[in-house]
Structure 1
Amino acid sequence: MTEARHIILASGGTGGHIFPARALGEELLARGYVVTLMTDMRGEKYEELFPGVRVLRVASGSPSIRGLLGKVKAAGALLGGFVQSRRLLRRLKPSAVVSFGGYPSMPPAAAAANLGIPLLLHEQNAVLGRVNRLLANRARFIATSFENTESGDGKRIAKMIHTGNPVRRAILALAGKGYSAPRDEGPLNLLILGGSQGATILSDVVPGALAALPESLRARLQVTQQCRPEDLERVAALYRESAIAATLASFFDNVPELLANCHLAITRSGASTLAELGVAGRPALLVPFKHAMDDHQRKNAEEAVSAGAARLVLQEDFTVEEASRQIADLLSHPDHLAAMAAAMASLGETHAAKKLADLLECTIAADTEIKKTGKAAA
Structure 2
Amino acid sequence: MRITNVEADIVRIPLSTRFSGSVYQIESRCTVVVRVHTDEGLVSEIYSGDERTGYQLLKDLVVGPMAEAVKGEDPMAIERCWQKMFALTPHVGDKAIAMRAIAAIDIALWDISGKALGVPVRTLLGGYADRAPVVRFAYYVQGRDTAFMVEDLLHQRERGIGGVKLKVGGVAVTDDLLRVRAIRDTLGDDFIIVCDANQAWTLEEALEFAGPAREMGLAWLEEPCRWQNADNDMRQVRLRTGIPVAAGQGESSSWGGQRLMDTEAVDILNIDAAICGGISEWRRVAGAAQMRGVRMAHHEEPQLAVQLLPAHAHGLFVEVFEEERDPVYYQLNSVLPEWDNGEIIAPDEPGMGLHLDAAVLEEYKVY
TM-score w.r.t. the length of structure 2 is 0.31
Larger helix percent: 1
Query: Which of structures 1 and 2 has the larger relative contact order (alpha carbons within 8 angstroms, sep 6+)?
Result: 2
Q: Which protein is bigger by CA-based radius of gyration? A: 1
TM-score w.r.t. the length of structure 1 is 0.30
